Amino acid sequence: MITAYFMGRAARRDLERGIPMDLKKKLRHVMDFPKEGIDYIDVTTLLADGEAYGHAIDLLAEASSGFGGFDVVVAPESRGFIFGAPLAAALRKPFVPARKPGKLPWRRVSAEYGLEYGTDAVEMHADALKAGQRAVIVDDLLATGGTVGAVAELVEGLGGVVAGMLFLIELTYLDGRAKLRGRRVESIIRMDG
């Protein structure tokens, strides 16, 4: 049974009766954004529904238990923060942000990853993790796996261990799991195309 950290009474009652909330119906598709041919999955409609948002965090918490013991939640900017930070708070775990370049004020480490049209990077503070700490990386969406692959590189570069990767949404047709082979990956909502 799902532990209801943020869930309201109505959603809790439905779950107790075995009626799951269909989070997929809470997402909005925006065609041709940010460029033509892309079906952008907008999570703001899910966030606008407190019951759905709480339910999403509950499901992420439940899925994270499958990674065994872990010490810290790491999430990339910016939509990863929306799910990673409340998950860390609900589980009483530390939260480590992986930021875009130039956003962190102290000594940092960086990892680049490829995009269709170039490269981008993520950074973490050099003291964000202790050697041996087990991290769960959380993001809103798994597409090609580039961003979380770079975050995993940072975690391991600081001596941490990636216990698993957790996503609210997975676009299975982009086969991001292939880039993450050998890693434990869980997703709540799978979209096949």
pTM, two decimals, is 0.89
Round to whole Å and give the CA distance between 48 and 30: 16
Q: What is the pLDDT of residue 115?
A: 76
Segments of the chain scoring below 50 in pLDDT: 1-8, 10, 19
Q: Which residues contact 13 (CB under 8 A, 6 or more apart)?
A: none
Q: What is the pLDDT of residue 66?
A: 94
DSSP characters for 30-96?
A: EET-SSTT-EEEE-HHHHTSHHHHHHHHHHHHHHHGGG-S--EEEEETTHHHHHHHHHHHHHT--EE
pLDDT digits (tens, 9 = 90+) for 104-143: 999 999 999 987 677 899 999 999 999 999 999 999 999 9
Q: What is the pLDDT of residue 91?
A: 97
Q: What is the pLDDT of residue 15?
A: 53
Q: What is the pLDDT of residue 99?
A: 98
Q: What is the pLDDT of residue 116?
A: 66
As given in the structure block, the two tokens for residue 53 are 């948002």
